Amino acid sequence: MTTATAPRAARIGAFAPALLLLAVFFAGPLIWAVYSAFTDVALTGSADVNFIGADNFVTMWNDAQFWNSLWLTLVFVVGSAVIGQNTLGLLIALLLRGRNPVARGLVSGLVISAWTVPEVVAGFCWYSYLHRDGTLNGILGWGGLDQNWLYTTPMLAVILANVWRGTAFSMLVYQAALNDVPPELHEAAAVDGASAWQRLRSVTLPLIRRSIVTNLMLITLQTLAAFGLIYVMTKGGPGTKSSTTPIYMYQESFQFYQLGYGTAMALVLLVIGAIFSLIYVRLIKVDNL
Amino acid sequence: MTGARRGPMRLAVYLVLALVAISFFLPFLWLVVASIQPGAALSADITWEFSFRNFADVLTVDTIFRPVLNSLIISGGTALLTVFAATLAAYPLSRYRSRFGRIFLYGILFSTGLPITAVMVPVYTMYSQFELTDSVPALILFMAASSLPFAIWMMKNFMDSVPVELEEAAWTDGAGWLQSLRRIILPLMIPGLTVVFVFTFVTQWGNFFVPFILLQSPDSQPASVTIYTFFSTYGQVAYGQLAAFAILYTLPVVLLYTAMSRVFGGAFSLTGAVKG
């Protein structure tokens, strides 16, 4: 590789637009967040903002609703991403391997179309699907199981909706990973009399281990701060039954005007995200660095 | 494995796949049906009356045209700015090894994981302090900044695949780095530039939370926000119209995605993302 042909100034100049944007509009708010989490800044327009130390964090520590929201976020991430999307995506990718092209096209086409639909529209689809008079009750009606699912099982409802919306990502990751598994290994194991399950466990899964871990990190990060889907479907309700931390943070900041407290919660989310992101950066193989 | 065991096994696999297909299709069903039922409400009672009246009813300046135009300006502006800044930044990252570049690249990769939703409260506080709320250009600047980490990462991976030898010839002819970037690398990177542009455009077209927080006046809001307002105002009574609106709003994204996957293969949007 040829180096040092371009003058140093030009090389740094090339970074300028990106650096400027990132510094002002990305790093800026982050630094601002650290500052305002320690203030009582509110949306009411009052000009005097006071430095109140760690008060917001003390409030948070004693706020049962915050802990409830954190718990619901964990349930949402584990239920919809780690268990739902990840397992279903892997299962679909495995089952589609070597099937006829029509079946492959149809199934992955449907799974991917759920993924391409904008968040708000996905929320509408599931709202009308699970509503009292919706499609699901139309199907279940004869069994006497019909109910307003958004009201009786709000967390299950938003988890299922997010599995529906996000499975395509995991499926695509696993389809790509499975393409790299040499078929000879499989045949050899089959000749040795290994059952389908044994082949999966001792040949396929170890070979795609890296993809599994990377996928888990990425979908956790994508799910952690999900807002639109839950907000459209339940608004965090009924009561606080599906109020995950992003929803609670939004309500405290923009409905109860507690921007300082909302920012403190945002910081907690950011720190959790940063930890997962660091693990992800360590995992990914960066060849050209 | 014997044929006797293979048969039932195959059948079971196809049954599971059929179940998956049906489960993924059902949530769409009412949206599609309701859009062509003139008196559709939330209930899934299908009548034999079909018409495109719902589509005709929403095709007005206030419901569809202005919000979609706003979406085009916001998503298009963000994608253009992102592609511009990402291309410039990707060049030195792809062509020279330096300590700064290394740190920058790690920082970029780390930032792709940060939850943007969480940043929105401080962004709002900052924007209202500097009176930048309700401004479309200010919104575009933030959206471009938040799209940049992933865009730079993708762009660098695309640029890495353009051989450096092609440039060396230009350098000996005395061309500067900007010239060789413009005349040699960019023409060879049209597919990569298109992928980054479309990916950013599609992501921002669907972005609800950021404009929901930063834009207050209905006249400048994109379709992702106005469709939500429409839903919370008329969703119960005019579900058919909401469904028609949702389909018209979703269509461009689906068409773009289909076109892209025809040209670049199914997993186009994952390019450069997961190399684990």
In a domain, A145, yes or no: yes
CATH code of residue A225: 1.10.3720.10
Q: What are residue A51's DSSP bridge partners? A: A39
Q: Which domain holds residue A216?
A: 63-283
Q: Which of residues 49-78 of B touch A (CB under 8 A)?
A: none
Q: What is the mean pLDDT of chain A?
A: 85
- pLDDT higher than threshold 50 for residue A272: yes
Helix, strand, or coil here: B1? coil
B2 or A144, greater pLDDT: A144
- Flag if B109 and A281 touch (Cβ within 8 Å): yes
In a domain, A260, yes or no: yes
Class of domain B57-270: mainly alpha
In a domain, A244, yes or no: yes
Question: Which of A187-191, B90-94, B189-193 is predicted least confidently?
Answer: A187-191
In a domain, A49, yes or no: no
In a domain, A220, yes or no: yes
B266 or B80, greater pLDDT: B80
- Flag if A17 and B84 touch (Cβ within 8 Å): yes
- pLDDT higher than threshold 60 for residue B1: no
One-letter amino acid at B85 equals A
* ipTM of this complex prediction, to 2 decimal places: 0.87
Q: Which of A116, A179, A211, A282 to mutate to test the interface with B (most CBs of B within 10 A)?
A: A116
- pLDDT higher than threshold 60 for residue A289: no
Name the pLDDT band for A143 (thresholds 50, 70, 90): low
Q: Could you tell me if A105 lies within 8 Å of chain B, comparing CB atoms? A: no
- In this prediction, residue A258 carries a pLDDT of 85
Q: Could you tell me if B158 lies within 8 Å of chain A, comparing CB atoms? A: no
How far is B264 from A101, CA to CA, in rounded Å? 18
User: Which of A141-145, A190-194, B155-159, B267-271 holds the top average pLDDT?
Assistant: B155-159
Long-range contacts of A110-114 (CB under 8 A, 24+ apart): A110/B20, A110/B21, A110/B24, A110/B25, A111/A167, A111/A168, A111/A171, A111/B20, A111/B24, A112/A168, A112/A171, A112/A172, A112/B257, A112/B266, A113/B24, A113/B28, A113/B254, A114/A164, A114/A165, A114/A167, A114/A168, A114/B24, A114/B27, A114/B28
Mean pLDDT of A258-283: 89
- pLDDT higher than threshold 70 for residue A190: yes
Report the residue of chain B nearest A167, measured CA to CA. B24
- pLDDT higher than threshold 90 for residue A136: no
Ranges of each domain in chain B: 57-270
In a domain, A45, yes or no: no
Q: What is the pLDDT of residues A153-176, one digit of tens each?
A: 899 999 999 999 999 999 999 988
- In this prediction, residue B274 carries a pLDDT of 42
How many CB atoms are closer than 10 A to CB A59? 15
Helices (H), chain B: 3-35, 53-58, 66-95, 99-112, 116-129, 136-160, 165-172, 177-180, 186-188, 190-206, 209-214, 223-234, 239-264
- pLDDT higher than threshold 60 for residue B269: no
B184 or B73, greater pLDDT: B73
Question: Which of A48-52, A241-245, B84-88 is predicted least confidently?
Answer: A48-52
How far is B120 from A33, CA to CA, in rounded Å? 10
End-to-end CA distance of chain B: 34
Contact between B230 and B242 under an 8 Å Cβ cutoff? The reply is: yes
One-letter amino acid at B159 equals M
Residue A39 phi/psi, 5-degree rounding, is -125, 175
Q: What is the pLDDT of residues B23-80, one digit of tens each?
A: 999 999 888 888 888 776 666 566 777 778 888 888 888 888 999 999 999 999 999 9
In a domain, A108, yes or no: yes
Helix, strand, or coil here: B211? helix
Q: What is the pLDDT of residues B213-227, one digit of tens each?
A: 999 999 999 999 999
Q: Could you tell me if A100 lies within 8 Å of chain B, comparing CB atoms? A: no
- In this prediction, residue B134 carries a pLDDT of 92
- In this prediction, residue A7 carries a pLDDT of 62
- In this prediction, residue B168 carries a pLDDT of 80
